[in-house]
């Protein structure tokens, strides 16, 4: 039986909030270990809480980045950003959304500082925070709506790298799930397979990955 962490009775009653413990998170991710160790393999957590699953996924991906690209600063920077762009979450509670983004950024920052010998790359850090602001969404995965005054559909960004250039396209989550045949398909195909994509909501110009936050 999966052990979980309860934050408060009220939040459990009102929102069904229960966090999966670290031991069970690792056990479950080990079932798809090969995917967690692919830097560009995309993960969507539809009830991400404050990031228990996403944090461990990021830790695993960054470990692979470090092992492969530590000798090249540009490759290290680029592929660490690839890891960030591959992680998506939807969460009902706003405070959890903010904690999740902060938690993921801290993991990234601590990791980067541990291997960069104090080197600071503000452009890269800004890009990481920008991607997290788009990938960790305050919304309801059951209604497929973002939470806010207008209750717009949840929109995901696809981040595609071509060498040092990055392309961003936005898609509506509800379009992805309208067709029953799509439910077995990854959020975005990264294996070159045929995949039915939702309609493009918005498309952005190709930019250098370090200029991403400046061209939002």
- Tell me: the pLDDT tens digits for 135-154? 999 999 889 999 977 778 89
Q: What pLDDT is attached to residue 3?
A: 41
Q: According to the per-residue pLDDT averaged within each range, which of 63-67, 180-184, 201-205 is highest? A: 63-67
Residue (of 122, 117, 53, 125) closest to 90 by Cα position: 53
Least confident of 40-54, 101-115, 159-173, 185-199: 185-199
Residue (of 125, 156, 127) closest to 139 by Cα position: 156
Model confidence, pTM: 0.81
3-state secondary structure of 191: coil
Going by pLDDT thresholds of 50, 70 and 90, the confidence category of residue 9 is low
Cα separation values, 97 from 49, 60, 136, 153, 156, Å:
7, 21, 7, 17, 15
Residues facing 170 on adjacent strands: 157, 202
């Amino acid at each position: 039986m999966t052990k979980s962490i309860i934050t408060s009775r009220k939040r459990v009653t009102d929102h069904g909030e229960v966090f999966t413990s670290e031991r069970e998170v690792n056990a479950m991710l080990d079932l798809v270990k090969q995917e967690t160790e692919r830097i560009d393999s995309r993960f969507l957590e539809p009830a991400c809480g404050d990031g228990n699953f996403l944090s461990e996924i990021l830790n695993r991906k960054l470990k692979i980045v470090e092992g492969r690209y530590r000798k090249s600063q540009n490759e290290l920077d680029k592929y660490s950003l690839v890891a960030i762009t591959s992680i998506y979450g939807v969460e009902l509670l706003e405070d959890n959304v903010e904690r999740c983004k902060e938690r993921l950024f801290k993991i990234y920052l601590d990791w980067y500082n541990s291997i960069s010998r104090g080197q600071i790359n503000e452009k890269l850090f800004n890009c990481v925070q920008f991607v997290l602001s788009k990938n960790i969404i305050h919304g309801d995965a059951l209604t497929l709506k973002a939470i806010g005054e207008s209750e717009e559909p949840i929109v995901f960004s696809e981040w595609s790298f071509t060498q040092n250039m990055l392309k961003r396209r936005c898609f509506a989550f509800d379009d992805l799930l309208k067709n029953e045949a799509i439910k077995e398909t990854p959020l975005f195909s990264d294996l070159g397979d045929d995949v039915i994509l939702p309609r493009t909501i918005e498309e952005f110009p190709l930019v250098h990955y370090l200029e991403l936050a400046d061209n939002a």
